[in-house]
A and B are shown apart, each in its own frame.
Chain A
Amino acid sequence: MTTNELPREPTELDRLVSAARDGDRPAFDELVRRTYVDTYTLAMRLTADEEDARDVVQETYLRAWKGLKGFRGDAQFTTWLYRITANTAYTTVKRRRRHRADALDATVEEPVETRIDAQPEESAEQSAMLARLAGALGQLPPKLRVLVVLKDVYGLSHEEIGEELGISVAAAKVRLHRGRKRLRDLLYDDGEHEGREHGKRWDRAV
């Protein structure tokens, strides 16, 4: 038995990426159709603002189209797109902070009904808890939220995150640490009796 990985068969997405890199606009449009829900979801999780998320999606694909020739294909196209989305969202959030200083403390509760892929095997309690987790994520300060989303939800490395956000790996680790701690406090320590109840329910559900 060998441990060498067999070369991966090119997927339909790979073929579209290859065509789009050669300047095929319809192929790129098809890539947009196939990935925009994922991109929007990431943009929403990063910005916690619907209007900003829409802007981020449009800007992401404009940047992707312009930069597609530079995409070497050594990473997955979706990961490459996540990185552009992260960079665009981070710029958008920073710009918004300059214009709307009060938005820093803005909290966004994610409406459960916006989810479109409720898993059939998922209990109602677990669904509610995931919505609560998403809501708590939206309550994190943007600088911390970006780290938790990119690392813990999307699995990007500290190096990739640092590169896209223009921060050092050490800074990325510190912010991730603070973000996780704040998120834990939001889930388990928010309020007296009610907070403890939420914490208990969270414990049971996940």
Chain B
Amino acid sequence: MQCDEVARLLPEAVEGRAAVELSVQRHIETCLRCQVELARYRKMLRGLQLLRTRYLEPTPGLLGQTLAALEEAGERHAMRSVLSGRRLAYAGAIGGAAVAAGAAATAVIVHRSRGRRVPVTG
């Protein structure tokens, strides 16, 4: 196995022996150049893990803006709930009125049609 081939596998090899084939492991054990290269990847990985506990200072006002955005979203949600509740009420009222109007119209038509009926007498 050549160093160039092994070099391509080192980004995985850095995770441990199980991550690469036995032939790769054997090459690394006997090749100083690849050992140095693997050590570099290991150091890089260690550095990345250390970065996990290095926090960055947020830009001023971020907390306040985030809480305000949440507040605003909450208000919008509440407003939508109220509006959708009202819409339901309006729709119910309109529906009720339409039914009542329909019933009234039917009653009038029935009443008129009965009134037009002239009894046939002998």
Contacts and interface: CB of A to CB of B under 8 A. Distances in A.
A28 B14 CA distance: 40
B44 A133 contact: yes
Interface string B36-52: 00001101111111111
A203 interface: yes
Contact of A58 (B45, B48, B55, B66): B66
A148 interface: yes
Interface in A158-182: 176-177, 180-181
Contact of A62 (B45, B50, B54, B73): B73
B11 interface: yes
B63 interface: yes
Given A32-B63, A153-B49, A38 B44 contact: no
Given A28-B70, A62-B69, A203 B44 contact: no
Contacts of B41: 180, 184
Contacts of A155: 52
B59 interface: yes
B75 to A, nearest CB: 11
The secondary structure that dominates the A interface is helix
Contact of B40 (A25, A57, A188): A188
B40 A36 contact: no
B66 A129 contact: no
Contacts of A25: 70, 74
A99 interface: no
B47 A206 contact: yes
Interface string A30-46: 00110011101100110
A130 interface: yes
B2 interface: no
B45 to A, nearest CB: 6
28 contacts: A36-B62, A36-B63, A36-B66, A37-B58, A40-B56, A41-B54, A54-B65, A57-B66, A61-B66, A61-B70, A114-B57, A115-B54, A115-B55, A115-B56, A133-B51, A148-B48, A152-B48, A152-B49, A153-B49, A155-B52, A180-B14, A180-B44, A181-B11, A184-B11, A184-B40, A187-B44, A188-B40, A202-B43
Interface of A: 25, 28-29, 32-33, 36-38, 40-41, 44-45, 50, 54, 57-58, 61-62, 65, 110, 114-117, 119, 129-130, 133-134, 137, 148, 152-155, 176-177, 180-181, 183-184, 187-188, 202-203, 206
